[in-house]
Each structure stands twice: as C-alpha cells, then as structure tokens.
Amino acid sequence: MDSDEPLPDNRSRRAFLRAAGLGLAGGSSVLLSACGGASTARKEFFAGSSTVVVRDADVSILNGVLDLEHTAIAAYTAGIPLLSGHARTAAAWFLNQELEHAAKLEATIKGAGGKANPPRANYDLGNPRNGGEVLELLHTTESSLVHAYLVAIPKIGPGWLRAVAAGILANEGQHISVLQAVQGRAAVPSAFVTANE
Amino acid sequence: MIEGENTRRELVRGVAATAALAVAATVPTLLEPAGALARSGGALVKPSDDGAVLTSLLRVEQVVVFAYERTLTTAILSPSAQEVLTSFLDQERAHVHELSLDLTALGDAVPAPPTDTAGFESELRHLRIRRSPAGLRTQREHLRFLIDLEAVIARHYRFAIELLTGETRLWAAAEIMANEAQHATVLREMLTPGRVKRAVPSAFVAGIT
C-alpha cells in the first residue's frame, strides 16, 4: 500500500471521528442546510448524527486556492507544448492532477452552498520561450500553490476539510520534487516544504 | 503492508483516551495507549489534545528514523541510494527535533525512541506493518519497506491535521506531511525510474474520500 491510495471508504472516516468523540463527519454523501445571519452565515453538513460546519470564511479560503489552481492549470496547459520527453510526460500528468484538485475544490464549495470562482479569461504567465523557462514557470506556480495551502490549512475550520487541503498540498509538494529533479536540482532539499526551496 | 483502518482506529482510540484523561494521567499515544502508559513510568502529566497527537506523530517519526538508520547500516545500497537515504534520514531527524520541541513546550513528555531491533519490530507491529525488516535482502525490498513506512507516516499526519488545533502546529504538520510525500515520490522513482504515474500516483496524498 502506498501513501497516495484513497482511504477505504467514508465509513472509516465516520468511525474514526465518532470514536474520537469529536462530532465531525465528512465525505461525499452529505445533506446541506444553512443557518445564521448574513455576515456569520454558516452551512452545516449533516452526515448521520454528526455535524460539520463549513463557514463562509472557509468557502472564501477555498476560493482563494481555487484561483491559484486555475492559474496552475493555465500554466501547464500553455507550457506543455514547449516541453519534451520526461518533463512533458510529467507535466501532462500533473495537469490532470491539478484539474482533479480544482474539481474537488469546486465540488466542496458548491456543496457548502457557495459559488466557486471560475477560471479567468486569460492569465499573465510571462513569455516562456523554451522548456527550461516553462519548467521555471511551473516551479514558481507550484510554489505559490504550496504557500497558499500552507496559509489556508490552519485557517480552515472543519478538520476533514483541512485534511483535504493537506492531501492536495502534499501532492503539490510531490510535483515540485519531480520538477526540481527534472531541472537538475535536489528533489527534496528541505525537511519542511515551505515554498521557499 | 499496512492496515490503514486499524491504524486509524488505534490512532483515534488514543485521542479519545487522552480526552478521557483530562485531569492527570500519563501521556497515551495514538498508536498504543496502554503501552505508552506503561512506558511512561507513571509520571503524572496533564496532556493536551494536541500533545497526544504530537506524541503519536513523534513515535512514528522515531520508528521511521530507526528504519532509515537500520537500512543505511545493514543494507547493501548503491551509492546514489545511500546518498538519498542519508539525506532523508537527516530530514526525519529534523522532524523529530521539531516535534520534540513542540511537545516539550506543551509540557508533555517526549516518548522514548526504539533502541533495538526488538523495540523497532514491536512498534512496527503496532503500526500494522506486516513486512518484516528481518527478511529484507535487496535494495528494492528495503526501498519498498521504507515506502510502506512513509505511507504510514503520511497517513498519520493527515489525520493529525484533522485533529490538531494550534495554528503554528498545523502549519508545521502540513510542511512535514508534504515532505514525507516527497520522500515517497523519490523512493518510488528509485524503484521505477521515469514512471511518473507511479512516483506520483494520486492527486490526493494519503487518500481523500
């Protein structure tokens, strides 16, 4: 078994959280209701007898990282044609994963009753002219994502949502590691993935 | 191989035990509450919830450090593998140092690391790792074993991030979890060079349902 395999199913998560007595639950099969005033409105997910509160602030945080995911998708889409060999294969794979991240964030935001930010019509990605410059652009973009998730995670309310974000952050760290190796740099230069490596 | 479900159950049992021991108790871990109680020698400690989570993480990190040390001293490795694993060992030690500082600052006791093979194998059993380190022969087998361990620790960090409350602590745990994911990626790349889909198999590390 490797670290990137999905958890067995939602029952595991529910059992975990029930056992912890934390009153949390997550997963895809949830019902939604809303309560509270306009500025402090909260959306509550109900799964069984447990409740998870996703605040408007959480939706805002998720939209912030979604914006950067859209930027990354644009960067990979624009840059892949200038890459070749292993770098191109890796970038194409990472583009798929960025699309998965964006889809997950969008679904979570919508599930909480929020509106997911759409991609912009265009992005200022500079003017990379060759594979090396594209790799630098992708590295910079991934680093921005890592930083955004690091800032976001402590601010996200529900624990299960923090874990979702952490799982994506770790995947972005993996992307950086591969990109750095392709660039001839140390794949894992630091014990802490800080976005400054 | 690991059994993630059991690992999580034990992890949670430890947290629940901590919550129940709110007044005065030894620090139970998320992995082996009873064993931790016995090992701590009965010292009276008032654990915080974050302390229990950190203790669990620290114990897994200590196991991982022991595993890298053991691999580097007993396995026949290529020079490049030796270099990579040495670097990863240094990084795992940095994690242990960071967690120990934080745990101490919380007033909780730092658990004793495994000091011999018997203690190491005992911790592996608690982590539900079935692959015995005693039977490892080739570099590939050693790498697979370390990948299993990196899986265990990434999973622990993921659940820790669900449970932790301190902002700085959450930030640090996220940084370390990403680093462990990078380790797994590089180790997989060493097993199957050039196969990026194997090195980075999922968009969601440690499983998202």
B108-147 residues touching A, CB cutoff 8 A: 147
- Other CB atoms within 10 Å distance of the CB of residue A15: 15
- For chain B, counts of helices (H) and of strands (E): 8, 0
Candidates B168, B173, B178; nearest CB to A173: B178
For residue A96, name the pLDDT band (cuts at 50, 70, 90).
Answer: very high
Strand stretches in chain B, DSSP E: none
* pLDDT one-digit tens code per residue, A15-41: 333 333 333 333 322 223 333 333 334
Q: Does A22 touch chain B (CB under 8 A)?
A: yes
What average pLDDT does the structure give for chain A? Answer: 81
Q: What is the pLDDT of residue A52?
A: 64
Instruction: Give residue B192's pLDDT.
Output: 95
**Interface membership of B50 toward A (CB under 8 Å):** no
**Domain edges within chain A:** 56-182
pLDDT for A54 beyond 90: no
Which residues are CB-neighbours of A91 under 8 A, at least 6 positions away? Answer: A76, A79, A80, A83, A134, A138
Nearest CA in chain B to A168: B204
Which residues of chain B does A50 touch, with a Cβ-Cβ cutoff of 8 Å?
A: none
Contact: A24, B162; criterion CB under 8 Å: yes
- Structure-model confidence comparison of residues A6 and A124, the more confident one: A124
Kindly report the number of other CB atoms within 10 A of residue B99's CB atom: 24
Shortest Cα distance, chain B CAs vs residue A25, angstroms? 11
Q: What is the pLDDT along chain B (209 residues), one digit of tens a residue?
A: 333 334 444 444 444 443 333 222 222 334 333 233 223 333 333 334 899 999 999 999 999 999 999 999 998 999 999 999 999 999 999 999 999 999 999 999 999 999 999 999 999 998 888 788 888 999 999 999 999 999 999 999 999 999 999 999 999 999 999 999 999 999 999 999 999 999 999 999 974 32
Please answer yes or no on whether B88 and A172 come within 8 Å at the CB atom: no
Q: How far apart are CA B75 and CA B89, in angstroms?
A: 14
Torsion angles phi and psi, residue A82, rounded to 5: -90, 0
Contact present, A44 and A51 (Cβ < 8 Å)? yes
Q: How far apart are CA A164 and CA B100, in angstroms?
A: 26
Two tokens, residue B145? 């074993």
CB contact under 8 A, A22 and B163: yes
Residues of A in contact with B91 (CB under 8 A): 188, 190-191
Quote the CA–CA distance of B133 and A39 in Å, as a whole number: 56
Using the beta-carbon criterion (under 8 Å), do B196 and A7 form an inter-chain contact? no
Q: What is the ipTM of this complex?
A: 0.80
The pLDDT score that the predictor gives to residue A90 is 98
Q: What is the DSSP letter of B208?
A: -
d(CA B166, CA B78): 42
- Which residues of chain A from 48 to 107 reach within 8 Å of chain B, CB to CB? 86, 89-90, 93-94, 96-98, 100-101, 104
Q: Quick one: which H or E segment has residue B92?
A: helix B79-105
In chain B, the residue whose alpha carbon lies closest to the alpha carbon of A97 is: B203
* Over residues A101-128, mean pLDDT: 96
Predicted confidence at residue B121, as pLDDT, reads 93
Q: What is the strand order of the sheet A50-55 is part of?
A: A31-35, A42-47, A50-55
Global pTM reads: 0.80
- The CATH number of A56-182, from 3.40.50.720, 1.20.1260.10, 3.40.630.30, 1.20.140.10, is 1.20.1260.10
Are A9 and B168 inside 8 Å of each other by CB? no
Main-chain phi, psi angles of A34, to 5 degrees = -125, 150
Rounded percentage of chain A residues whose pLDDT exceeds 90:
71
Contact B12 A169 (CB under 8 A): no
Q: Nearest-CA residue of chain A relative to B207? A: A6
Range in A52-56, A60-64, B21-25 with the lowest mean pLDDT: B21-25
